[in-house]
């Protein structure tokens, strides 16, 4: 079989991923833990012979796309005749694969079918002419690529003619032909999917397409401006199965997910989780897809880009991890996720801030809730932290310039636990000239021991203090209204809150 164009190019994608595969030392061995192997044991006759000229007595590799990345999943040493055989211990998960040279450059792509009983014959001097025998999937792709390549060349010609048109008639003529050929391509794809609904190529075509909305309806003489958005969102995932592990072996499925959340999902925790929940529930029967998506969304929202979206992670925890979906995790990861979830539950936006009753520099216990003001700014810091040495003076400056006049109180917690905590704190206060109106508090060892003996959560857990400085803004009722923002963003929120009250 002859490959006329790259698989990704033939599928008309805009983000064809080319270049170097990740370097790993030869040989590459497939194992049950590999992210790129399937769960089904490979039959004894699952062999993929390859001839790759002019390489002799050297290692060559088989790789695949995985999410947004690429990975090598197997290797074979070709002999004096440039021949070798890939013999997987377990069947490869079908998808878009590529053969990689001894120098780790991608030579050509192929479709890995489910049978995996085909042969490859290629020459690196003519890498676009790789011949694949015994694979219906690659035969189907050959026919498709020939058709799309031919139509693509004609479209390029027509686009050039259209740009150079000097008369309205010529412009209209070329535009009509462009529309006609695009429809032929679309009809060809739809017919291919209809006739081969279970094929890998059909799954790829379904996954890459973006719905085109019909004419915008006019209601009472006014066009419905939101109709295109609603239509595209409603049909964005038509014919895409989230439990299809094959889609992980493409470079566009995860990108399509990211585009969906970025452009079509309301940037609000409950709306985001509704989409995440749908995808995860659909993907449950995907032996690779479910843990992949669960991990992806966990990583995205455990440390979210936008304030308040950690609520999505909490909901993921409550609906999946807390109900037993932890078998994919090692002990350390499981512990981290559980502890982080319970920590974040205590400091969600709109919740009352956890109480703080800590010792100040004079040894007096200072209660957070005894501070009276329209706002309270809580700072967890370490006197030895380089970033804290920069941020606390900046906080002091904006406090003196504006926040003090707005009746804002400062409550800072030194998280240090060394024997020299008191000396370090006093030195820090003196060097940074932070005497005015600051409350500096810390937890003594005795108080920490009592708390631990009682089995109570500490302030690090309650305020999710895993880095310094950690910052919170509270309202006059000590409810959390902002956290983990820049000083400028906190100031903007204070301004917005005051404006809303007026």
pLDDT tens figures, 73-91: 999 999 999 999 999 988 9
The CATH number of 7-134 is 2.60.40
Pairing of strands 357-360, 37-41: unpaired
The predicted model scores a pTM of 0.84
* pLDDT score, position 44: 54
Q: Which two tokens stand for residue 430?
A: 């003196």
* pLDDT score, position 375: 97
Tell me the residue ranges of DSSP E strands in 325-372.
357-360, 365-367
- Whole-angstrom CA distances from 94 to 65, 200, 306, 363 are 11, 8, 36, 66
What percentage of the chain carries pLDDT values higher than 90?
Answer: 73
- For residues 401-411, average pLDDT: 96
pLDDT tens figures, 117-144: 999 999 998 867 889 999 999 999 889 9
Most confident range (mean pLDDT) of 8-17, 30-39, 285-294, 426-435 is 285-294
- Whole-angstrom CA distances from 403 to 207, 472, 483, 492 are 52, 14, 17, 12
pLDDT tens figures, 178-232: 999 999 999 999 999 999 999 999 999 999 888 888 888 888 888 888 999 999 9
**pLDDT above 80: residue 21:** no
The CATH superfamily holding the domain 357-501 is Glutaredoxin (3.40.30.10)
CA 492/CA 497 separation, integer angstroms: 9
CA 111/CA 8 separation, integer angstroms: 11
Choose between 220 and 258: higher pLDDT.
258
pLDDT tens figures, 420-463: 677 888 888 888 888 778 999 999 889 999 999 999 999 999 99
- What percentage of the chain's residues is helix, strand, coil (to nearest 5)? 45, 20, 35
- Whole-angstrom CA distances from 483 to 11, 241, 306, 353 are 44, 37, 10, 11
């Amino acid at each position: 079989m002859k490959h006329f164009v790259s698989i990704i190019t033939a599928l008309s994608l805009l983000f064809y991923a080319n270049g170097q595969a990740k370097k790993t030392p030869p040989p590459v061995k497939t194992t049950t833990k590999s992210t790129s192997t399937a769960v089904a044991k490979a039959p004894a006759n699952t062999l993929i012979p390859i001839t790759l000229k002019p390489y002799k007595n050297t290692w060559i590799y088989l790789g695949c796309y995985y999410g947004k990345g690429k990975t090598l999943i197997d290797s074979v040493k070709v002999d004096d005749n440039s021949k070798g055989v890939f013999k997987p211990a377990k069947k490869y998960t079908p998808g878009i694969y590529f053969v990689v040279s001894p120098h780790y450059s991608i030579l050509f792509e192929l479709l890995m079918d489910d049978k995996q009983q085909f042969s490859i014959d290629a020459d690196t001097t003519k890498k676009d002419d790789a011949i694949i025998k015994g694979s219906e999937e690659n035969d189907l792709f050959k026919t498709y690529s020939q058709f799309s390549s031919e139509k693509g060349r004609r479209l390029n010609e027509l686009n050039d003619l259209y740009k150079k048109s000097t008369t309205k008639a010529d412009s209209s003529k070329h535009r009509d032909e462009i529309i006609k050929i695009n429809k032929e391509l679309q009809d060809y794809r739809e017919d291919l999917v209809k006739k081969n609904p279970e094929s890998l190529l059909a799954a790829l075509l379904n996954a890459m397409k973006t719905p085109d909305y019909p004419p915008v309806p006019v209601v009472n003489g006014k066009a419905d401006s939101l109709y295109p958005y609603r239509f595209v969102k409603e049909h964005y995932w038509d014919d895409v199965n989230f439990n299809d592990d094959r889609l992980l072996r493409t470079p566009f499925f995860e990108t399509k997910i990211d585009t969906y959340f970025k452009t079509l999902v309301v940037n609000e925790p409950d709306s985001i989780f509704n989409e995440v929940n749908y995808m995860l529930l659909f993907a449950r029967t995907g032996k690779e897809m479910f843990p992949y998506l669960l991990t992806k969304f966990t990583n995205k929202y455990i440390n979210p880009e936008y304030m308040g979206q950690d609520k999505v992670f909490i909901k993921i925890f409550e609906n999946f991890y807390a109900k037993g979906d932890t078998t994919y995790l090692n002990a350390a990861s499981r512990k981290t996720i559980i502890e982080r979830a319970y920590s974040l539950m205590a400091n969600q936006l709109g919740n009352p801030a956890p109480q703080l009753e800590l010792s100040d520099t004079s040894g007096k216990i200072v209660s957070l809730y005894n501070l009276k003001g329209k706002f309270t700014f809580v700072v967890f810091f370490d006197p030895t932290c380089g970033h804290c040495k920069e941020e606390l003076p900046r906080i002091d400056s904006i406090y003196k310039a504006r926040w003090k006049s707005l009746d804002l109180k400062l409550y800072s917690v030194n998280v240090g636990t060394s024997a020299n905590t008191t000396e370090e704190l006093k030195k820090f206060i003196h060097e940074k000239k932070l005497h005015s109106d600051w409350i500096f508090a810390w937890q003594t060892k005795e108080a920490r021991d009592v708390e631990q003996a009682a089995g109570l959560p500490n302030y690090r857990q309650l305020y999710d203090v895993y880095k310094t400085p950690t910052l919170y803004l509270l309202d006059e009722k000590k409810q959390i209204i902002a956290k983990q923002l820049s000083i400028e963003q906190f100031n903007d929120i204070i301004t917005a809150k005051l404006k809303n009250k007026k």
